Structure 1
């Protein structure tokens, strides 16, 4: 087959101009009256290798079975966890096959097709009662020590390197300390008991009778469970006999068990407020006043959130099979 007429300079740049303007190879060939091969070679010589959408070897393939919007909707519906792939296909009126729907969902990182756990048939009332018992009726008191000179450990701050380094006064043994006992529930904080001197079983029984029992009875009547750690004064025969005499339901605290008590979060918030802006107290009386003010400032909404966190804390321990959890 013979070669066609050579391109003139005008035709050459006409083809290049149409190509730069986004005109397809087919349309350029039609307008110039030149073969598609001629047009492609001309553009390649001037602009480099050309992607030709008409070339079967360079086509992108079939159009996806679902649009991006349909995929997003499918994933959102599937995440609810109450539909099979066939039901999703029918409900969303997808043109793709059930198998295609399954493959798409399998490629989603946060979705896993897994067997649902078997459980007892619980009504909403059952669930509310179980959660209420687990969250609100187990009382976990705790003690906290506050130092006059601030928390134990190092103090950090954002330092301006253009200014002299700051320092803080650190007296021997922190300048003295105040030990407090307290507890909380969804209704609020208990009155804090200030523990003076070395505590024994008699002191602890006084704290329980004068602080824990009035707080528990006023918020839960007699429907509560009292749990405390295995400190010697908590587990002593004298303390145990007193709790039995007062008909207080108790829960065992296994040795070396994880401490999921959210009151540790309350102590952290109180310490941040007591020692705000690097504050240091001069006397024990000043520190006690600051502690009581910080306790009174704890919001009930915050306490409710801590109560609601108990199932997550317990589940985290279960998932770790009793090992270390983040709480």
Structure 2
């Protein structure tokens, strides 16, 4: 029991199998492992802490106040999503010794094996999803290429009234905020309004 408790404290939020193996007690059935751990630990999920500073919070508040009266039916919200092959991005749960603080785990944005998808939603309309080729890391060049190959054909099929009112929304991921991306999108007719991922599409 002492070795198991020590292993659970050393590797918090791990599975019962991993804890018992770390304590040198492999081969114990799962029901027995859980019965033992219930006497000294409980199951928790990691505490998710967004890395926001006061400056980030003020910028978000300013953005919310500025666009509070915007008709969001004209806003195309876009983002990428990654399905990883090496485990969840910080959402797993595991055993934690009683009285120990819950560790914080930041969600990964890059790295690891998996596939990435890009999609947009505007009102009730879903744009794609499209798979991002060549791995899961989105660079500025790949983002511009992706926009050219997948977004622009969808946009150019729309009528003038639609194109005149649409607002393109994206976040400040490195591939989105790069100078090359801004210049390339401006050449497409997408003019960045500010540093919060808001862009107007010029018909």
For this structure pair, what is the TM-score category when the shorter chain's length is used for normalisation? 0.3 to 0.5
Looking at secondary structure, tell me which structure has more strand per residue: 2
Normalised by the size of structure 2, how large is the TM-score? Answer: 0.43
Structure of greater relative contact order (alpha carbons < 8 Å, 6+ residues apart): 2
Larger relative helix fraction = 1
Q: What TM-score, normalized by structure 1, do the two folds share?
A: 0.28
